[in-house]
Amino acid sequence: MFQERQPADAFVSELKIGDNEELPYSAHDFGVFVAVMLKMAAKTYSHNFSALSRYQITLKTVCDASDQYQEKLLDTLYNCWKTNQQMMMILIDKLLKMQVLDCSVVVAWLFDEKMWQEHDRQWLFEVLNQALEKLTRQIVIVEKDIKELAENIENEDKQEENEADEKMTDDESKPQKQQEDLEAHKQKLEAMVQFQKGLFIDFLLVSLFF
């Protein structure tokens, strides 16, 4: 499929394995896809960036389905580029910016038992720092979105109170959709903040013992 220059969405269809909503794609085949993509783009940084952009739909569609696919992506990236730490740092940063990878998944992966052999390497802490900075920025963005959504809902409620309610408007679904979006953002923010707090607690415990 790579040699035939198949489009990115064709790979999504190829990786799909059934009607399982939780894990709709083959993790093994996704790892093969990522490995071949990285191998074909191994010449330069620009080749890697071009490959990530070309297959962004494939990467993001699969990785959005479950954290397991993001972990598979990171494992494959590490196995392909562990002898080139700078390449790993640059590609993980690029995938974070493309929102293919979540900050929390990257941090959890860095502290996974299988990565213990890398805990004295500088690249790991560089990637950790990148992920934590982006996590903090994402929390700020979500907080801003929540504030704007809440203000919009409040303004519309006030406007409805001032209008005559003799007939129902055709746009009844809009307030409901905004309320659902607000609740989803709140849940997302809560999960991110809890993860961030847990991370700080872990660091504190480590510092007490070392």
pLDDT tens, position by position, 108-165: 898 888 888 888 888 888 888 888 888 888 888 889 989 988 888 888 777 766 665 5
Is 25 strand, coil or helix? Answer: strand
Helix (H) or strand (E) holding 81: helix 67-81
Give the pLDDT confidence score for residue 172 in this predicted structure. 54
Is 210 strand, coil or helix? Answer: coil
CATH 2.40.30.40 fits domain 8-101: no
Q: How many CB atoms lie within 10 A of CB 15?
A: 21
Flag the least confident range among 11-15, 22-26, 31-35, 168-172.
168-172
- 8 Å CB contact between 45 and 87: yes
Q: Would the pTM count as exceeding 0.95?
A: no
Domain ranges, ordered by start, for the chain:
8-101, 103-158+171-210
Q: In the chain, pLDDT over 70 holds for what percent of residues?
A: 88
Length of the chain: 210
Is 16 strand, coil or helix? Answer: strand
